[in-house]
Structure 1
Amino acid sequence: MPFISLGLLPALARAAAERGYSVPTPIQTQAVPAILAGRDVRGMAQTGSGKTAAYALPVLQALSSGAQESPRRVRALILVPTRELAAQVGESLRSLAQHLPRPPKIAVAFGGVSINPQMMALRGGADVMVATPGRLLDLIGHNALRLSSVAMLVLDEADRLLDLGFAEELARLVDLLPQPRQNLLFSATFPAAIETLADALLRDPVRIEIASEPATEPAISQRAIEVDDRRRTQLLARLIKDSGWTRVLVFVATKYAAEIVADKLRKAGIEAEPFHGVLSQGKRTQVLEDFKASRVKVVVATDLAARGLDVVQLPVVVNYDLPRSSVDYVHRIGRTGRAGQSGVALSFITADMDAHFALIERRQGLNVPRERVAGFEPMEARTPAAAPVPGADNGGVKGKRPSKKDKLRAATRRDE
């Protein structure tokens, strides 16, 4: 089925083909006509399935049909949780709009950099605003733009934007938006905990859930290697060298661990850089550019890199520390095996994390065989569960036993 059959303009169908979409993906096939018809949409599909184009193409078409005003007014607002995703979505929109007779003006804004250039870019207005919630509120506070003309609201990585980390900022922004409007929510996961919040934003939505099928499921080989926590960095360096991996994205639990593991890999002769929220935006951008250009072989990242980050032909993702939830596991491993490519998702299983990985397996319907690497066989025994205290709740006494983060920090120190 060609893109033109979805009701798209020839200019947009041509741009989609130039971006590598020979035919529409399942999420695009269902979402594009619904959005063009003016319906609210809640779209869920696996990572790497083309969700950005699924909303970007019809949004651009809707904007192309209206007369351009001076100054321009923001008619489409796209909210994202991270700076990197904001830049990535902005680039996708500009690429898809390049053949339109009157391309819309697309503005991108995120924190971590000076607000002044972003305010200057909004002089004369914009048709599309791609932003992180916090920086958008800053721009509104500086009277750099208004949201009174927004007709389309898109939440990319919607489950992340609806959780507690962004809930207050999102609520403030929604209060500034006009009614009625078209609402589009897209993500790879919609946990039950945020279902009510998602439904509150939507009006008689088209619900699209693309189940993973052999024909569409990313070709990701999932592996789990048992290893003592203090030897994980040594094993990681060995695997990188022996397997000939050209680029590896390594996930850790903390910013501190990202710095330590990257430093140890460099001392082992492997080009590695940390990637986390404390780094300046300039540094984060440079790390990603070097990684995509293969000037850096390994990026050691927190979950900042788990959402929306698109690195073409990324062959390997490593869970050095396991994610806190099965949802985060899905987003992490989805950085590989994108756009029809194959990939490997490898998790290190320490004695203390064995039960947690088993929980991830149950919730995701997985059964990943445990492996061992010669010379790195684990020696540590699993920590026995503490006996319940009569009259105490199941969480124990706060402050009397280490939290999961405490254990991860301790593991990192032992690995020094």
Structure 2
Amino acid sequence: MQFTDLALAEPIVKAIAEQGYTSPTPIQAQGIPAVLSGRDLLAAAQTGTGKTAGFTLPILQKLLDAPKGVKPNQARVLVLTPTRELAAQVQDNVATYSKYTKIRSEVVFGGVKINPQMQRLRRGVDILVATPGRLLDLHNQNAIHFDQLDTLILDEADRMLDMGFINDIRKIMRLLPKKRQNLMFSATFSDKIRALAKTIVENPVEVSVTPKNTTAKKVRQSIIAVDKKQKINLLIDLLAKEKWHQVLVFSRTKHGANKIAKQLSDADIPAAAIHGNKSQGARTRALADFKSNDIQVLVATDIAARGIDIDQLPHVINFDLPNVAENYVHRIGRTARAGSDGDALSFVSIDEIDLLADIQNFIGEPIERLDYPGFAPSKPLPELKLNLKPKKIKKPKKPKQASTDSKAAPKQKKKPANKSASAKKAKTTANSKPKRQNRKPSDQKKSPIKRPSQSPN
């Protein structure tokens, strides 16, 4: 299938071709016709699979098919995103694909002055990309209204729930026209996402192009066991020897991200940190410098990670393992995007062994272990077994007592029935620990870069 087969107008196809794309990804091939049909959409796709274009392209087409003037302080399409970086990224996509049209778009988010945003909304916009908090602020100041809204898009809905935006989303829902098209995009279809979807989408088309909890196939995952105090020295040594030119490093905390960036800079490795406490200007500059290769290493926390979208990002390093196993999948999804390959390397100290176990259980497979010369941990990491969830064992039923209406067994009423041998056996089974399946990670020693060639799956 080609983009020309998807009933997209020539100006849109031209803009797509300029970006070097000719064939839609699976999420685009399935999602674009559904959006153009006017149906609500509930779509799950792994990060890096083209979700943004999956809703941007058909929305642009619908605006071209039904052009109408937008009143001041109004918007026809609203795109909600969880983070500033992701909002800016979506707006970049909208601007790129609408460059040969007269469709107007704006992006609003916190961390910057609100007055310039209010002024840009006075003319009205076709597409408004926003973070929930800033959108509500603008509405409270009468800078934006939704009388003309045709379409609502929730991007990264799972992340919005993780970040605690559910109350803001509910407030926004109450402000919108009841008659509208709704599109929800998420990395997974968790129970929470489905519960939220029931309050937003109506009789949706469901599209899912990724199995639950899986990682991108082209990401080469590995871990290096190392003492916690030696992690920064390992990172510096690795960057110096391998001469990686663009590396995204994840820290668990904001303080940790700042500390790592400073230690790298002190070692003459150009680095910058990006997290929630940084001003929007600083975050924007750091990301721009990273994309242009002016800095070699960008150190980020999970809250800033969703908006980092670089097609050819080759390396991701988990300096700290995340507290939430699902975030591991999102982190390593920053590499191996747009069909390219990528490396995801995690530094694991002994105090993170439980987090590693959670991650491996979540993705359903062990992660390859590598030895790095000179940084062997003082206490080796124990081998881990995959803890597949055991089947629930039914508790034995209590022996039935004689009916009080029966005259034939009055003695059974006074004396409780003895537990049978089978009941005792069942109780023993219920109290015993379930067996775990054991899948050993590879014992073969390899360097972080030189790996044996593997045949494609």
Conserved 8 A contact 2:216-2:333: no
Q: What is the identity, as a one-letter code, of the residue corresponding to 1:311?
A: I
Instruction: Return the alpha-carbon distance in structure 2 between the equivalents of residues 323 and 48 of structure 1.
Output: 20
Structure 2 residue aligned with 1:394: none
d(CA) in 2 for partners of 1:233 and 1:96? Answer: 41
The root-mean-square deviation of aligned C-alpha atoms, in Å, is 1.8
**Distance of 1:43 and 1:66 partners within structure 2:** 24
Matched residue, 2:395: none
- Structure-2 residue corresponding to 1:395: none
Structure 2 residue aligned with 1:290? 289
Deviations 1:121-148 (A, max 9, x none): 1121111110000000111111111012
Measured in 2, the distance between the counterparts of 1:191 and 1:347 equals: 26
- 2:157/2:193 contact within 8 Å kept: no
AA matched with 2:83: T
User: Once the 2 structures are TM-superposed, how far is the Cα of residue 15 of structure 1 from its aligned partner?
Assistant: 1.6
Instruction: Give unmatched runs, 5+ long, in structure 2.
Output: 383-457
Q: Once the 2 structures are TM-superposed, how far is the Cα of residue 228 of structure 1 from its aligned partner? A: 0.6
Contact 1:107–1:129 at 8 Å: present in 2 too?
A: yes
Shift of 1:232: 0.4
Pairing 1:17–2:14 present: no
**TM-score (ref. length: structure 1):** 0.87
Output aligned runs, 1:151-190, within 5 Å: 151-163=150-162, 165-190=164-189
Secondary structure in 1 aligned to 2:68?
coil
Equivalence for 1:93 = 94
2:199 alignment counterpart: 200
Q: What is the aligned partner in structure 2 of residue 66 from structure 1?
A: 66
Matched to 1:176, the amino acid is L
Q: Equivalent residue of 2:75, what SS?
A: coil
Question: Relative to structure 1, is the Cα distance of residues 298 and 327 closer, same or farther in structure 2, using a 3 angstrom cutoff?
Answer: same
Deviation per CA, 1:224-252, whole angstroms, max 9, x where unpaired? 11011111000011111111110111101
Residue in 1 aligned with 2:309? Answer: 310
Matched residues in 1 for 2:239 and 2:17: separation?
Answer: 35
Identify the residue that residue 345 of structure 1 maps to in structure 2. Answer: 344
Which letter maps to 1:13?
A: V
Residue 210 of structure 2 aligns to a residue in which SS? coil
Structure 1 residues without counterparts, runs of 5 or longer:
384-416
Percent identity, please: 46
Q: How does 1:240-259 map to 2 (within 5 A)?
A: 240-259=239-258
Q: Which letter maps to 2:297? A: V
Q: Which residue number in structure 2 is paired with residue 401 of structure 1?
A: none
**CA distance in 2: counterparts of 1:196 and 1:48, whole angstroms:** 25
Q: Could you list the structure 1 runs, at least 4 aligned residues long, displaced by more than 3 angstroms after superposition.
A: 380-383
Shift of 1:202: 1.2
Q: How far off is 1:382 after superposition?
A: 7.0
Counterpart of 2:408 in structure 1 is none
Letter in 1 for 2:319: Y
Aligned-partner Cα distance in 2 for 1:131–1:99: 23
Task: Compare CA radii of gyration and give the structure with the larger one.
Answer: 2
Alpha-carbon offset, residue 67 of structure 1? 3.2
CA distance in 2, matches of 1:363, 1:357: 10
Offset from partner CA, 1:327-385 (integer Å, 9 cap, x none): 211111111111121110011111011222122112112221222211110114779xx
Where do residues 10-409 of structure 1 align in structure 2 (5 Å cutoff)? 10-69=10-69, 71=71, 73-100=74-101, 103-163=102-162, 165-211=164-210, 217-380=216-379
- The 3 A distance-change label for structure 1 pair 90 and 259 is same
Partner AA of 1:81 in structure 2: P
Q: Which amino acid aligns with 2:43?
A: G
The separation in 2 between residues aligned to 1:242 and 1:381, in whole angstroms, is 24
What is the distance in 1 between the residues matched to 2:241 and 2:75? 52
Given that residues 76 and 127 in structure 2 are in contact (C-alpha distance below 8 angstroms), is that contact kept between their aligned partners in structure 1? yes
Q: Secondary structure at the match of 1:76?
A: strand
Conserved in 2, the CA contact under 8 Å of 1:218 and 1:341? no
Distance 2:268 2:161 in 1: 42
Give the match's secondary structure for 1:201: coil
Supply the distance in 2 between the matched residues of 1:189 and 1:67 (Cα, whole angstroms). 34
The residue aligned with 1:391 is: none
- Quick one: distance in 1 between partners of 2:116 and 2:34? 36
Alpha-carbon offset, residue 193 of structure 1: 3.3
Greater CA drift, 353-362 or 118-127: 353-362
Equivalent in the alignment of 2:8: 8
Measured in 2, the distance between the counterparts of 1:354 and 1:217 equals 23
Identify if the C-alpha distance between structure 1 residues 70 and 220 changes in structure 2 by more than 3 Å, giving closer, same or farther.
closer
TM superposition shift of 1:218: 4.9
Q: Which residue is 1:406 aligned to? A: none
Residue range with higher mean Cα deviation, 63-72 or 157-166: 63-72
**TM-score, length-scaled by structure 2:** 0.80
Number of aligned residue pairs:
379
Distance 1:211 1:251 in 2: 24
Deviation at 1:65, TM superposition (A): 2.1
C-alpha contact 1:227 1:372 (8 A) present in aligned 2: no
Q: Secondary structure, in 3 states, of the residue corresponding to 2:125?
A: coil
Bigger mean CA deviation after superposition, 331-340 or 303-312: 303-312
